[in-house]
Structure 1
Amino acid sequence: MTKKTEVTVEEKLRALYDLQLIDSRIDEIRNMRGELPLEVEDLEDEVEGLKTRMQKLTGELDDLNDQIGNRKNLIEEAKTLIKKYSEQQKNVRNNREYNSITKEIEYQELEIQLAEKHIREFKAQIEQKKEVISKTKERLGDRESHLKHKKEELDSILAETEKEEKALFDKSEEYAEQIDDRLVKAYKRIRGSVKNGLAVVSIERGASGGSFFTIPPQIQMEIAARKKIITDEHSGRILVDPALADEEKDKMDQLFASI
């Protein structure tokens, strides 16, 4: 690891505040994307789920049509047997043979009735499936269209911000190199523990930025002296004086404008 050049407390404070401003800008870029990446991911999952459902429904529809085909074949076979038995009845030798053939004919007629009943049921199921498929197809088309729109929106934001975000990441690492590891770790720890990611804040109207707790005048003077790193006793954030903050904001605004 490259040995860091010894720097003053004021230089550390300036570097810390600059690092905060850079990281906050990166946070802003991410906020611009907002929930879009998650929305796109959810929509992709939903579209995939609807496609799977369409495949399943189409498979069930094919199966029902196959079942109808099987029943129609069964009906034709039964009709052929009925015709055959009817011819046999003309040549029977006794009542027993006649009755036996009659029972076979009646059985085949029942088979036809049952097959026709099944066909009606299958056709009703097909109509229901077709209705579900139609609604699912409509839903799929809507979700695919919405996904396309959201992807375009996300791609547009990424195209606008990707270059800036990469440059800011590089700058963030560059400024972190100006600060000793202990301070960088403390900074990252504080950033990770607060909702807005602000680990370094300036004093505003006698209080820590974003806080209502007043900082005693003596502490304010010490902060303005820039001789040591001072943290807010309530939030744990590192504090800088307003003058330093304004100077670094102007410097960082110029940096951001150049990226």
Structure 2
Amino acid sequence: MATAAKKKTLSSEEKLRALYSLQLIDSRIDKIRTVRGELPLEVEDLEDDIAGLETRYKKMQDEAEELNDEVSSKKNAITDSKALIKKYKEQQDNVRNNREFESLSKELEYQDLEIKLAEKRIKEFKAKMDGKKQILDETKSELDGRKKDLETKRKELDEIVGETQKEEEALLKKSEEARAKIDDRLVTAYERIRTGSKNGLAVVPIDREASAGSYIKIPPQRQLDVAARQKIIVDEHSGRILVDAELAIEENEKMEAMLAKILK
């Protein structure tokens, strides 16, 4: 059993019509995507920015929470030290000798130093928390701004996609159908020329004795050969496949009729 059905053998004119029809379809798809422009990439970039900002914001929130826990821990340490100071002072009132008194005095001095150190650390933590809060506020503001931008861009993109999605899907299907009818060798040549062209044109009609978009005139005999539709002719200057103006008009009319039917 054959892996794929054989393509119908086309005459030179049928090949030219199929190629130009494919060009019209692909050019229409290009136009739709040009209208859509950079919006999909802009939406993607904004989504990446927002994800990065949210990660950064969460990390700073965690760091601020850790600082807050450190402050609470130091405050508890101060409370404990004050309780010990009260206890040691009461014990000093009931000592039996100087050695006990001096030992308790050292403990009192140590707890006093612990309180001062804890208070210093609390100030340092609070200063860091103030800095974190400022950065958090700035990040939150930036994040909110990016989210608003994303909402606007998504709405804009959705509107454009909504207006063109049906047409684009139909055209993509027609493009695949058109390719399936054309010899693989011709499709490959078409794609190569199209890829190398700035405006994606691989098949063009003769316009004012030159290939469309070119100012270099095509010799009269060459024009007659193109009009005869007996073979595939490539413009030696632009490298594009040539079709005559009459064929182009006819295929354009077919394209417009097809689109009108699809979008009805």
Q: For the superposition of Structure 1 and Structure 2, which TM-score range results when normalised by the shorter chain?
A: over 0.9
Tell which deviates more after alignment, 106-115 or 87-96. Answer: 87-96
**Regions of 4+ moved over 4 Å:** none
Is 1:5 matched with 2:11? Answer: no
- State whether structure 2 residue 68 is matched by structure 1 residue 65: yes
State the SS of the aligned residue for 2:234. coil
Given candidates 150, 154, 165, the residue that maps to 1:151 is 154
2:120 to 99, 109, 117: 117
1: CA distance, partners of 2:86 / 2:180: 97
Aligned match for 1:74, one of 70, 73, 77: 77
Question: 1:232 & 1:198 partners in 2: Cα distance?
Answer: 12
Q: Which residue of 1 aligns with 2:198?
A: 195
Shift of 1:40: 1.0
1:173 maps to 176
Q: Which runs of 5+ in 1 are unaligned?
A: none
TM-score, normalization: structure 2? 0.92
3-state SS of paired residue (2:204):
strand
Q: Name the % identity.
A: 60
For 1:128, give the aligned amino acid: G
Where 1:203 maps in the other structure, the secondary structure is: strand
SS of aligned partner of 1:201: strand
Structure 2 unmatched ranges of 5 or more: none
Aligned runs of 1:1-259 on 2, under 5 Å? 1-259=4-262
Deviations 1:152-209 (CA, angstroms, capped at 9, x unpaired): 2222222222211111122222222332222122112211222211110112222222
**Post-superposition CA distance 1:87-129 (Å, at most 9, x none):** 2222333333323322221111111011011111111211221
Tell me, in whole angstroms, the C-alpha distance in 2 between the residues paired with 1:195 and 1:249.
22
Separation in 2 of the partners of 1:131 and 1:106? 38
Deviations 1:70-99 (A, max 9, x none): 101110111111112112222333333323
- Structure 1 stretch displaced more, 227-236 or 96-105: 96-105
Looking at structure 1, the residues matched to 92 and 179 of structure 2 have their Cα atoms a distance apart, in angstroms, of 103
Aligned length: 259
**TM-score relative to the length of structure 1:** 0.93
Note the alpha carbon deviations across 1:20-77, whole angstroms, 9 max, x for none: 0011001111112111111111111111111111211111111111101110111011
- Opposite residue 199 of structure 2, the aligned amino acid is N
Paired letter, 1:213: I
Q: Residue 56 of structure 1 aligns to a residue in which SS?
A: helix
Query: 1:120 is matched by which residue type in structure 2?
Result: K
* C-alpha displacement of 1:17: 0.7
Pairwise CA RMSD: 1.6
Code of the residue aligned with 2:220 in structure 1: it is: P
| 1:177 partner SS | helix
> How far apart are the structure 2 equivalents of 1:90 and 1:4?
111
